[in-house]
Amino acid sequence: MALHLFDTATRSQREFHPAQSGTASIYVCGATVQGVPHIGHVRGALNYDVLRRWLVHNGLDVRLVRNVTDIDDKILTKAADAGRPWWEWGATHERSFEDAYQTLGCLPPSIAPRATGHVTQMIELMQRLIDAGHAYTAEGDVYFSVTSFGDYGALSGQRLDEVQQGETLGEGKRDPRDFTMWKRAKPGEPSWPTPWGEGRPGWHLECSAMATTYFGPEFDIHGGGVDLVFPHHENERAQSNAAGDPFARFWLHNAWVTLSGEKMSKSLGNTVSIPEMLRRYRAPELRYYLVQPHYRSTIEYSDGALTEAAQGYQRIEQFLRRVDGAAGSVEVGELKPEFGAALDDDLATPKAFAVLHNTVRDGNAALDAGDDKKALELAASVRGMTGVLGLDPLSEQWAALAGSQSPARQALVDLVEGLLKQRQQARADRDFARADALRDQLVAAGIAVEDTPNGPLWTVREA
């Protein structure tokens, strides 16, 4: 393979070779199921879905694990505030995340393990660390000793004398830089039995336990949001390596979706939920918006940018519809070499989308010139490229949406189609002045109209 990925651990772009020939293993930090998902939550899942599709296209059998954090302080607090059982609260929002992933075209993970289902493996990992002198118990809590691991901070670049875990200083914690692996039980909270007393998992412990449960001591790629580099991934790496596991060979991190320069966060109240977005845009249009930027670049949310993304998807959709009507059924064809080169360059999706849209432009030009054979060939390539991106308008998932629109899009369709019907009637009445005036009205509004033997075809013009 020619694929190169940016590895956070080495701060460099490295050529990817799977540890096991023919198989790629990816562990992605999934949702803490405390509430309804927003677009910041699902961006990472979509980025790693594109990576997975690209690896599959290159002949690898990809196994992707995306965990569910179903026990957490925030889950317990929100469930209590709502007067609901913690397990019901978590399960309800786990379903909402899964619905969002599926609706936006993510391939299902190989498995979506829950933290609460892997307590046995967590206990085993803690025991290994205690036996090796890297962890200790205190009043029913279990802590990882940061100073016992000489390579601590290498992933995130944290200086040991500046480390702050963001935790309260618990009873018996020997060093404020140490992090909690296991929390002793509090009255009224869920708990599980351990050799050190009743308690529940700490956040960092669970992912190390789950990743090695399904992949063994070493796997190819660990993915997550850039906000997880420290402390979460730093602590995962420390406890796993200290226990003797090589753990992840590549660390990938996707950037945030921001609003007014701030990371989207429920605590800040600046989120844009998936259900809200899907009332305004179709699912593939939202997917386009979230996968078109490079996964390591921040997306600053704006309605204008999302509308542009929707128009970009619609141009692809309309081109394939034109070819399908004029030149015959469009099969999935070969990718443009420049498209593959872009994705091999650390998933450079902006370059890949540029190749895709250049191909659409050339295909439309071929149709206009009456070269149906060339248009059909280019359309097949478009289907191949959009398939890798999870955006093929003629795929089984998205083709079902061809006759449906988001409310905002439907309003635009109704207005434009109404004006076109008036124009057609004016032309039938030989009132060409009115027909031209209606066309000018559409053009002024940014609508391009093409008269074809099968009637007028309209698109939203590119800026």
- Asked whether the predicted pLDDT for residue 269 surpasses 70, the reply is no
Mean pLDDT, rounded, for 97-104: 97
Indicate whether 251 and 289 sit together in one domain. Answer: no
CATH number at residue 311: 1.20.120.640
Phi and psi of 68, rounded to 5°? Answer: -125, 120
**End position of a domain, from candidates 199, 232, 263:** 263
Tokens of 103: 């609706």
Reported as half-sphere exposure (CB side, CA atoms, 13 A), residue 342 has a value of 22
Q: Which residue's entry shows tokens 């460099």?
A: 12
Indicate whether 106 and 76 sit together in one domain. Answer: yes
- Asked whether the predicted pLDDT for residue 134 surpasses 70, the reply is yes
Judge whether 15 lies within some domain: no
Q: What is the pLDDT of residue 324?
A: 84
Indicate whether 391 and 415 sit together in one domain. Answer: no
- pLDDT tens, 217-237? 999 999 999 999 999 999 999
- Distance (Å, whole) CA 333 – CA 79: 50
User: SS3 string of the chain?
Assistant: CCCEEEECCCCEEEECCCCECCEEEEEECCCECCCCCEHHHHHHHHHHHHHHHHHHHCCCEEEEEECEECCCHHHHHHHHHHCCCHHHHHHHHHHHHHHHHHHCCCCCCCECCEHHHHHHHHHHHHHHHHHCCCEEEECCEEEECHHHCCCCCCCCCCCHHHCCCCCCCCCCCCCCCCEEEEEECCCCCCCECCCCCCEEECHHHHHHHHHHHHHCCEEEEEEEEHHHHHHHHHHHHHHHHHCCCCEEEEEEEECCEEECCEECCCCCCCCCEHHHHHCCCCHHHHHHHHHCCCCCCCEECCHHHHHHHHHHHHHHHHHHHHHHHHCCCCCCCCCCHHHHHHHHECCCHHHHHHHHHHHHHHHHHHHHCCCHHHHHHHHHHHHHHHHHCCCCCCCHHHHCCCCCCCHHHHHHHHHHHHHHHHHHHHHHCCCHHHHHHHHHHHHHCCEEEEEECCEEEEEECCC
- Asked whether the predicted pLDDT for residue 404 surpasses 70, the reply is no
When mean pLDDT is compared across 32-36, 267-271, 319-323, the lowest value belongs to: 267-271
Indicate whether 26 and 42 sit together in one domain. Answer: yes
- pLDDT tens, 42-89? 999 999 999 999 999 999 999 999 999 999 999 999 999 999 999 999
Judge whether 269 lies within some domain: no
- Asked whether the predicted pLDDT for residue 176 surpasses 60, the reply is yes
Judge whether 190 lies within some domain: yes
- Distance (Å, whole) CA 264 – CA 36: 13
Judge whether 7 lies within some domain: no
- Asked whether the predicted pLDDT for residue 146 surpasses 80, the reply is yes
Higher-pLDDT residue of 216 and 450 is 216
**Helix (H) or strand (E) segment spanning residue 44:** helix 39-57
- Asked whether the predicted pLDDT for residue 453 surpasses 70, the reply is no
When mean pLDDT is compared across 161-170, 248-257, 452-461, the lowest value belongs to: 452-461
When mean pLDDT is compared across 31-40, 158-167, 390-399, 403-412, the lowest value belongs to: 403-412
Indicate whether 434 and 322 sit together in one domain. Answer: no
**End position of a domain, from candidates 215, 237, 263:** 263
- Distance (Å, whole) CA 270 – CA 11: 31
Q: What is the pLDDT of residue 400?
A: 75
Cβ-contact 28, 224 below 8 angstroms = yes
Spatial CA neighbour of 342 closest among 294, 379, 390, 381 = 294
Identity of the amino acid at 350:
P
Indicate whether 311 and 361 sit together in one domain. Answer: yes
User: Given CA atoms 241, 243, 245, 251 in this order, what sign does their dihedral have?
Assistant: negative
- Asked whether the predicted pLDDT for residue 246 surpasses 70, the reply is yes
Judge whether 14 lies within some domain: no
Q: What is the pLDDT of residue 168?
A: 77
Indicate whether 197 and 114 sit together in one domain. Answer: yes
The CA radius of gyration of the chain, in Å to the nearest whole number, is 26
Indicate whether 310 and 234 sit together in one domain. Answer: no
Q: What angle (nearest 5°) sits at the alpha carbon of residue 361, between those of residues 359 and 366?
A: 90
Mean pLDDT of the chain: 92
Number of C-beta neighbours around residue 147 at 10 A: 13
Phi and psi of 391, rounded to 5°? Answer: -130, 15
- pLDDT tens, 432-451? 999 899 999 999 988 888 77
Higher-pLDDT residue of 208 and 272 is 208
Q: What is the pLDDT of residue 64?
A: 98
Q: Which residue's entry shows tokens 């309605």?
A: 303
Spatial CA neighbour of 224 closest among 124, 155, 150 = 155
- Asked whether the predicted pLDDT for residue 463 surpasses 50, the reply is no
- pLDDT tens, 368-400? 999 999 999 999 999 999 999 999 999 999 987
Spatial CA neighbour of 25 closest among 55, 57, 3 = 55
Indicate whether 317 and 230 sit together in one domain. Answer: no
Indicate whether 347 and 203 sit together in one domain. Answer: no
Judge whether 288 lies within some domain: yes
Cβ-contact 366, 374 below 8 angstroms = yes
Q: What is the pLDDT of residue 260?
A: 67
- Distance (Å, whole) CA 207 – CA 240: 10
Judge whether 250 lies within some domain: yes
Cβ-contact 50, 344 below 8 angstroms = no
Q: What is the pLDDT of residue 408?
A: 63
- The SS3 of residue 330 is coil
Q: What is the pLDDT of residue 171?
A: 79
Indicate whether 416 and 386 sit together in one domain. Answer: no
Indicate whether 247 and 178 sit together in one domain. Answer: yes
**End position of a domain, from candidates 374, 399, 424:** 399
Q: What is the pLDDT of residue 457?
A: 67
Q: What is the pLDDT of residue 325?
A: 75
Judge whether 216 lies within some domain: yes
Kind of pairing between the strands at 455-460 and 447-452: antiparallel
Work out the widest C-alpha separation in the chain, in whole angstroms: 91
Share of the chain above pLDDT 70, in %: 93
CATH number at residue 175: 3.40.50.620
Q: What is the pLDDT of residue 462?
A: 47
Q: Which domain holds residue 147?
A: 22-263
- pLDDT tens, 298-356? 999 988 899 899 999 999 999 999 998 776 689 999 999 999 999 999 999 999 999 99
Q: Where does residue 106 rank: exposed (0-12), middle (13-18), buried (19+ CB within 10 A)?
A: buried
How many domains does the chain divide into? Answer: 3
Mean pLDDT, rounded, for 183-197: 95
